[in-house]
Amino acid sequence: MKHHVLLLLALLAPAAIAPAKETAAKLPAASERFGSLAKAEEPSFRRHVVPLMSRLGCSGRECHGAFSGQGGFQLSLFGYDFEKDHKAITQDDNGGEAEVRVNAKEPLESLILTKGAMLTKHKGKERFKKDSWEYNLLAKWIQGGAKLDVEQTGDFDRLEVLPKEIVFNKPGEVVQLKVLAHWKDGTIEDVTQITRFRSNDDSVSAVSDTGKVENKGKGDTHVVAFYDNGVLPIPTMLAMSEFTAGKYPKVPTRTKVDELVVAKLRKAGIVPSEVCTDAEFLRRVHLDLTATPPTPHEVRAFLADKSPDKRAKKIDELMKTPGYAGWWTTLLCDFTGNNRQQLNTGGDLQLNDRFSRQWYDWIYKRVAENTPYDQLVAGIVLAKGRTRPDQNYEDYVKEMVGYFRKEDRTDFTERADMPYFWQRNNVRKAEEKSLAFAHTFLGVRIECAQCHKHPFDQWTQTDFKQFQAFFEPVSYGSTKKPGDDLSYGELTRAIQKEAGYEGKNDKNREKYRRILAERLREGKLVPIQEVYVRPPEKPRKLSEKEIEQKKKRDPNFNGRVITPKILGGEEVMLNEFPDPRKPLMEWLRGKDNPYFAASFVNRTWAAYFGRGIVEPADDMNLANPPSNRELMDYLAQGFVKSGFNIQWLHREILNSDTYQRSWKTTPSNALDEKNFSHALIRRLPAEVVFDSIAMATASTANFTKIAADLENRAIGPNASISGKARGGDNYTLGIFGKPARNMNCDCERTADPTLLQTIYTRNDPSFLQLVDSAKRDGSGWIDELRRAASPESSKNAAAKLEKYRKSRANLTEQRARREKDRLLAEKDRQKLEAQMREMDELIVRAQAELAGVPQAGKLDFDRAIEEVFFRTVSRPPTKDEFAKARQDLDAASDKVTGVRELLWAMLNTREFMVNH
């Protein structure tokens, strides 16, 4: 046990594996070794034949690497399955043609030579010349017996590419790469000519099949080398300006983040923008950190504050607000897939909404308390239905019912774990669980490896199946364990009998559901399914019949027992772990884990900058390296050293000049979108748009109230549940890009502008209702102005307050009288209490209205113009803007209508809809 835990903690990504001792001389390039057929040595199938066929395109997706192959000849995509490919090339399994693909009697008549050299008809056209080194390499392998030598070659260690970085001096310059393969037996070989290459941006650097890199324009990108299981990116760049090295201007670097960003900018010849204004910073950090615009009062106070550390103080202040916890809970619910429609409640208990709410609340509590990220994740990854090893099914149900009963309800957020991640309809199968786990906690997309080798990473189909094996025992449903006197099935049948319910289509189904709901409210036992882990089974040898049956269901089944293996790590003997997720969690927490900390750092960075250090933010593959490796390493390692302190990460990023830079560009950084030399103008997320509109149109009293009242906000728990009036509506949030949380892809959340968004803010009835009166109860700012402009406003407000107070007193007296006479039924009590709560809200609003009413005729419309700008774009108007607004007010039918038109116009500006 101890051995395996230590092994897990020592796991390294392939890029971090220590190089093998170089005990052998470097073997020369393929063209030298196979230039002459007569003198050529015998090549290796794994080291030479497979990589060559991959580089020639034979095993590419357009040719024989396609799902169904070409012309009856199928190879594994990019040549990852050596046994399968050897069999396809050498054995007769296609009506005789394979017999001559490799012709042992007449090697030079082999089809892989004659077709490849176009000596016979070939749809794939000519791949190499007759008597070329490529031709000789394949011919020599066939002459040597076409051996499969995977075991003899040993394990691949790593790739080395020289130069390690290319900094071009001028456009059109060409640099030749040299690729060395290091094998664990100490062999080092020049494999440049049998390596595949790809450029991540051909407009900056193009790369030939032979590894010649040519600069095509200013900027930076990566060229990627692929050989065997090695994937290695090489950074290339041509400076954007003459400002490099000694010519680079002095740029302050207040933080380590700034130091690392500016170091890359200096090399790339990019001069960063100045730091943004206080008004820009305040709006930006409010929207990014809390999804909440600052109030007009906050803007005025911040702009007047002369303290040198006011920005750092503001960041700390905002991390204590409900908006901070609500927004980052919303994002974590995105990543973890909190979707009420996908939540499997089992049977006829309809608890989807409540499960989803509990999911949100559980994460919210931990974000608000700054629980370390690894602990938060452990509470999800290791979660099971039963919270104690000795808990029987009846006690489990009692605990679960306690979270839903009406009286004396238990607080779900106090649970150590949250099992709902594992009980979604879209993660029923082990392969679906492995995909969800990799996306959520590693920021890795491994879908491709389900069927073939990942085109841009090291993962093969075998790697995927070995990783998937961790999740095979994790289930959601019903199980009976030793010590269970009651089971899910027994409890279900007992209650069904009580309801007279006999099956799905029985007329008594609704009665059965009502009984379940009533029992739940009363805290009685109801059948609830659970997340559980099946105990490990001893592997057994399958019979020939069982193997045939499995092959029918899965053509790729090879009959071998699959040993679980961590991505990029070692195999794990699961019989030593009662829960296979435990070694996975230990691996996540390991300081050398290449994904866990980095993926959260990258997603957090992407939330603040509009793009990740790795982009897309959830596609951390070897061929998609960070735009600034040193920056990523610093933040990921610092995050781990901080104890996975989420607020440390926020402060580290937000306090940097890099985050606080202006969106206004310099001549050298106008085209830069990935080196963080200036702020990118970003479309606001859907929830932020919705809440910002609600706050901009709310009355003075309600502006602050909305910010703190998450129950009625789009970043609150109710938006995740129903998407109805409380917390936004599905239509509005949908058109502005709120994710449905159905897929393992951060791309579900979109920020692209659309015509529907424009139509909504121009003339959608629900939007216009907000502008005119915020809500139908007349609690909007424009209503407030209309009342204030009326000579009778003060008198009306006082009369309204008095009316509400009398109604409240009458309700209190009525309840007391009926309780005394014992005439108050529970149903009537609830109705009275609801009326009393409603009246209390009306009294509070009336008090706020009365307090906000100025003396008749004293309404300051100049201040109202300023207020519109503070409410929408969080800054005062410029002189020109103010003058134009005043002209519009003077031309309006009345000045309040003029303010209303100004508010509508500002809500339709690009400045309001973006964060800059």
Query: Could you check whether the bond before residue 163 is cis, i.e. omega within 30 degrees of 0?
Result: yes
Q: What is the pLDDT of residues 72-109, one digit of tens each?
A: 888 887 777 888 889 989 875 444 444 578 988 899 99
Task: Judge contact between 372 and 643, C-beta under 8 A.
Answer: yes
How do 230-238 and 166-168 pair as beta strands?
Answer: parallel
pLDDT for 362: 97
Query: Could you check whether the bond before residue 322 is cis, i.e. omega within 30 degrees of 0?
Result: no
| Contacting residues for 842 by C-beta, under 8 A, at least 6 apart | 804
Residue type, 656: S
Residue type, 907: L
pLDDT for 98: 47
Residues of the chain with pLDDT below 70 are 1-25, 92-99, 447-459, 504-505, 537-542, 546-547, 549-575, 720-728, 774-778, 791-797, 821-827, 830, 845, 848-858
CATH number of the domain located at residue range(s) 1-238 in this protein: 2.60.40.1080
Distances, alpha carbon 698 to alpha carbons 706, 728, 780, 871, 896, in Å: 8, 15, 4, 9, 15
Task: Judge contact between 45 and 194, C-beta under 8 A.
Answer: no
pLDDT for 202: 95
CA distance 646 to 648: 5
User: Which class for 450: exposed (0-12), middle (13-18), buried (19 or more C-beta within 10 A)?
Assistant: middle
Residue type, 213: V
CA distance 537 to 811: 65
Task: Judge contact between 196 and 225, C-beta under 8 A.
Answer: yes
One DSSP character per residue, 51-99 reads HHHHHTTTTSTTTTTSTT-BTTB---TTS--HHHHHHHHHS--STTTHH
pLDDT for 519: 93
What are the start-end ranges of the H helices in 173-230? none
Distance of CA 76 to the CA centre of its chain: 30
**Tokens encoding 371:** 């629980």
CA distance 328 to 338: 13
In this prediction the pTM is 0.85
pLDDT for 542: 63
Map tokens 């929830």 to a residue. 687
Number of residues that this document lists for the chain: 916
pLDDT for 537: 66
Task: Judge contact between 570 and 7, C-beta under 8 A.
Answer: yes
CA distance 477 to 488: 9
CA distance 335 to 438: 11
Rg of the chain over Cα atoms, rounded to whole angstroms, equals 33
User: Which class for 448: exposed (0-12), middle (13-18), buried (19 or more C-beta within 10 A)?
Assistant: middle
CA distance 364 to 359: 9
- Sorted by where each begins, the domain ranges of the chain are 1-238, 348-356+377-442+445-577, 686-735+753-789+860-916
What's the farthest any 2 CA atoms get from each other in the chain? Answer: 113
How do 26-27 and 914-915 pair as beta strands?
Answer: unpaired
Given its phi and psi angles, is residue 101 left (phi above 0), alpha (psi -120 to 50 degrees) or beta?
alpha
